[in-house]
Amino acid sequence: MRREIGVIGAGSWGTTLANLLAEKGYSVTLWVFEPDLCETMRQKAENPVYLPGFKLSKNINPTTSLEKACLDKEVIVSVTPSHVVRGVISQTLPFLSDKMIVVSASKGIETDTLMSMSLVLKEVLPAKVHKNLVYLSGPSFAREVINKTPTAVCVASENMETAETVQRIFATSHFRVYASSDVTGLELGGALKNVIAIAAGASDGLGFGHNTRAALITRGLAEITRLGVRLGANPLTFSGLTGLGDLVLTCTSDLSRNRSVGLRLGRGMKLKKILDDMKMVAEGVKTAKAAYRIAEKLRIEMPITEQIYRLLYEDKPVGKVVDELMTRDLKCELESYNRDEF
């Protein structure tokens, strides 16, 4: 009997994961927010808004009904933008079962509550399903995955047995999945790399070279790790796929929405105009505000994140951002990451 899977969110990543699972032979019901897009996907087996040009598996059933997407499913994959996860998942509660596995593939931090997606889901979902929560992240652009470009990602859960079940469900010959128990590290790496990608894009927009980008990636990783360890993550996680891997991808590729935002800021465009022109969400814009507030609250030094926050929300000139980063007090490079030192 085929495993029944529901995917919530038909953006580029949600559609790609739905197609990956459907091509493995699973029966996938894909929840689409926009009725017109849903009808187009039914008729043409294509997502022309977020993934134009790619034919989708016949095993995908698009729907605008959360009930149809969730009821009697063995696995639910949540792939909505992070700022709507709480609202959407709250609507699914009447249709979820205690044994259902919930996989979160959303990357971000709630601005109002400063909660990661794992904390949001634990607050929204009943305690008896918490052991079935899994989080997926890693360096993976939707267009390359749907093109079957070899890709490696990671899934994390507090319950390794559940993580390994999800690992097997998603793994294919072109989509390699690793398992981890470090939910905090996986989530923070996936969320905060988007902030650093905005910085890398701004650097490129200003016409700086490879030296500058390498410095931003390296020091960006240092401050992500600094915050992650303070919040209980394993520092080694940040040298893996969901840390360094995702950071390098997002900071260097033309497919990166967050780098694109930074690129345009570096060229002098205003944030409102940039966001108005985008169809898809650049998670780093909202995450920069949340990360800045967390760092301020915990008194964690995150200079790149702070300057990107001021660039985005205080309209600080990008040239001044660079000057202040480069003329900070001189520091030692290496850190011990001993939590007792914070």
- Give me the CATH number covering residue 45: 3.40.50.720
Task: Please tell me whether residues 165 and 259 are part of one structural domain.
Answer: no
Specify if 189 maps to a domain.
no
pLDDT band at 279 (very low <50, low <70, confident <90, very high): confident
Task: Please tell me whether residues 208 and 173 are part of one structural domain.
Answer: no
Last residue of one domain, picked from the residues 116, 151, 181: 181
Closest by Cα among 36, 11, 33 to 87: 33
Task: Please tell me whether residues 154 and 17 are part of one structural domain.
Answer: yes
Q: What is the tally of structural domains in the chain?
A: 2
Specify if 75 maps to a domain.
yes
Starting from the edge strand earliest in sequence, which strands make up the sheet with 60-63, in order? 60-63, 27-31, 4-8, 75-78, 101-104, 133-137, 151-156, 175-180
Of the candidates 107, 193, 286, 289, the residue annotated as catalytic is: 193
The string of pLDDT tens digits covering residues 102-145 is 999 999 999 999 999 999 999 999 999 999 999 999 999 999 99
Task: Please tell me whether residues 15 and 128 are part of one structural domain.
Answer: yes
Specify if 154 maps to a domain.
yes
Task: Please tell me whether residues 140 and 225 are part of one structural domain.
Answer: no
Q: What is the pLDDT of residue 341?
A: 45
Mean pLDDT across 173-200: 98
Task: Please tell me whether residues 202 and 82 are part of one structural domain.
Answer: no
Matching residue, tokens 């926009």: 34
Domain of residue 20: give its range. 4-181
Specify if 162 maps to a domain.
yes
Specify if 187 maps to a domain.
no
Task: Please tell me whether residues 149 and 214 are part of one structural domain.
Answer: no
Say which DSSP state 330 is in: P
Last residue of one domain, picked from the residues 148, 181, 214: 181
| pTM summary value | 0.94
Q: Is 122 a catalytic residue?
A: no
Position 65 pLDDT exceeds 50: yes
Other CB atoms within a 10 A radius of the CB of residue 70 amount to 23
**Core vs surface per residue 303-315: b (16+ CB within 10 A) or e:** bbbbbbbbbbeee
Close Cβ partners of 336 (under 8 Å, ≥ 6 residues apart): none
CA atoms within a 13 Å half-sphere pointing along the CA-CB vector of 9: 25
Last residue of one domain, picked from the residues 181, 207, 233: 181
Task: Please tell me whether residues 205 and 166 are part of one structural domain.
Answer: no
> For 125-281, where are the alpha helices, taking DSSP H only?
142-146, 160-170, 183-205, 210-230, 246-252, 257-266, 271-276
Closest by Cα among 236, 232, 235, 201 to 216: 201
Task: Please tell me whether residues 222 and 330 are part of one structural domain.
Answer: yes
Task: Please tell me whether residues 202 and 176 are part of one structural domain.
Answer: no
Specify if 113 maps to a domain.
yes
CATH of the domain at 281: 1.10.1040.10
Closest by Cα among 228, 243, 227 to 295: 227
Specify if 24 maps to a domain.
yes
The larger pLDDT score, comparing residue 338 to residue 242, is at: 242
Farthest CA pair distance, the chain: 63
Task: Please tell me whether residues 199 and 167 are part of one structural domain.
Answer: no
pLDDT band at 335 (very low <50, low <70, confident <90, very high): confident
Q: Are 73 and 29 in contact (CB under 8 A)?
A: yes
Report the interhelical angle of 210-230 vs 183-205 (nearest 10°). Answer: 150
Position 339 pLDDT exceeds 90: no
Q: For the chain, what is the total number of helices (H) and then of strands (E)?
A: 15, 10
Task: Please tell me whether residues 61 and 176 are part of one structural domain.
Answer: yes
